[in-house]
Amino acid sequence: MEIAPETSEDWWEVEALLDLCFGPGRTALSSYRLRDGVDPVPALCLVARDGGAIAGAIRTWPCAVGTRPALLLGPVAVHPTRQGEGLGAQLIGAVLSIAPTRVILVGDEPYYRRFGFRRLHGVEMPPPTNPGRVLGVGDWTGVTGPVTRATTD
């Protein structure tokens, strides 16, 4: 398994994997509104390949929470034929090992708590988002407010 930063040639293959794992309606999710018109963080977007075939991918975007910067982790997806082999953990671990502090995501706490993610209180994702799925890891002391798109220069 080779894990490497995503390149522009990988883009559509990763999109196809995300459609497969989440369904093509995934871009209607409110978390996608935080990504519209914002470039992802290249060093924190990774693709895993096994003999050339894509096995998993993770992307990360900048965002803001209140007035403070944060990273929005995800989407993360592992091909259905490769799930349960630890690849998701490898991809998430790789990003967290180089991400600056304060990472947020929308996801299942029973999965993400093994990486240190806990429910965030006082942090509001764009509606409609189940508050119980708004999770964070890192230094969230005193950081509250709406999650908004990172401003671009």
Ligand X SMILES: CC(C)(COP(=O)(O)OP(=O)(O)OC[C@H]1O[C@@H](n2cnc3c(N)ncnc32)[C@H](O)[C@@H]1OP(=O)(O)O)[C@@H](O)C(=O)NCCC(=O)NCCS
Asked if 31 and 106 touch (Cβ cutoff 8 Å), the reply is yes
> Judged by CB under 6 A, which of 64, 89, 126, 138 binds ligand X?
89
DSSP 8-state class, residue 101: S
Which of the residues 19 through 58 are near ligand X (CB under 6 A)? 21-22
Phi/psi for 115 (5° steps) reads: -100, 5
What span, in angstroms and rounded, lies between the C-alpha atoms of 16 and 53? 12
Window of 7-15, 72-80, 119-127, 138-146 that interacts with ligand X by CB under 6 A: 72-80
Using DSSP, state whether 11 is helix, strand or coil.
helix
Largest CA distance in the chain: 46
User: What's the min distance (Å) between Cβ of 151 and ligand X?
Assistant: 26
Applying CB under 6 A, does 107 fall inside the site for ligand X?
yes
User: What's the min distance (Å) between Cβ of 78 and ligand X?
Assistant: 4
> Judged by CB under 6 A, which of 15, 64, 83, 131 binds ligand X?
83
**Residues of the shown chain interacting with ligand X in the complex, contacts defined by CB under 6 A:** 21-22, 76-78, 83-89, 107-108, 110-111
